[in-house]
């Protein structure tokens, strides 16, 4: 189904449709805002550079007080993307799926708490994002599975299949 990526005029809409379908298959475990976030994450990762991303441990070490919001978001996003859309790469990794699921959920949970705190003047993140990150933390496993289903719908294996050959796609 590679042609779906090439022929689709709006990459966000393509991912949004696939996330919506996958969420529906899973009984809508996340809100519409959560679905928008997942689609945006796929667009961001899909249009990024070809450089190899840092490991989760490297990202965790980068969490500094002045840049905690950006660092935690990147950590959560990377864990979500890899655990869902790039799950096959974990077969060659020293750490497993559970590590990514735990690290990502913890990063989003901590980020949610940071965003609930009073924001410094001029902060563009705003308090509305705390609820989205809290939801992503709470439903991280389901969000990972949604991204997995999107990946399978685009590149083969179907919604019920597994590219890894393991039950449930793990």
- Where exactly are the structural domains of the chain? 2-161
pLDDT at 165: 35
Helix intervals (H) in 2-96: 2-7, 11-25, 32-46, 56-61, 68-84
What single-letter DSSP state applies at residue 121?
T
**Which pLDDT tens digit goes with each residue over 42-86?**
999 887 654 566 777 777 776 666 688 888 999 999 999 999 999
**Which pLDDT tens digit goes with each residue over 133-166?**
999 999 999 999 999 999 999 988 544 433 343 3
Rounded Cα distance between 115 and 104, Å, is: 16
Give the helix/strand (H/E) hosting 131: helix 129-138
The yes-or-no verdict on residue 7 having pLDDT over 90 is no
């Amino acid at each position: 189904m590679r042609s779906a990526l090439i022929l689709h005029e709006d990459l966000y809409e393509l991912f949004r449709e696939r996330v919506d379908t996958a969420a529906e298959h899973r009984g809508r475990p996340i809100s519409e805002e959560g679905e928008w976030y997942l689609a945006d994450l796929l667009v961001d990762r899909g249009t990024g550079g070809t450089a190899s991303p840092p490991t989760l441990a490297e990202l965790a070490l980068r969490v500094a007080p002045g840049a905690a919001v950006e660092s935690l978001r990147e950590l959560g996003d990377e864990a979500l993307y890899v655990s869902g859309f790039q799950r096959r790469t974990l077969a060659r990794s020293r750490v497993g799926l559970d590590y990514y699921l735990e690290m990502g959920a913890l990063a989003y949970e901590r980020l949610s708490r940071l965003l609930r705190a009073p924001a410094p003047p001029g902060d563009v993140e705003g308090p509305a994002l705390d609820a989205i990150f809290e939801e992503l933390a709470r439903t991280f496993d389901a969000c990972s599975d949604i991204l997995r289903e999107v990946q399978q719908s685009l590149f083969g294996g179907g919604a019920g299949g597994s590219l890894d050959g393991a039950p449930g796609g793990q």
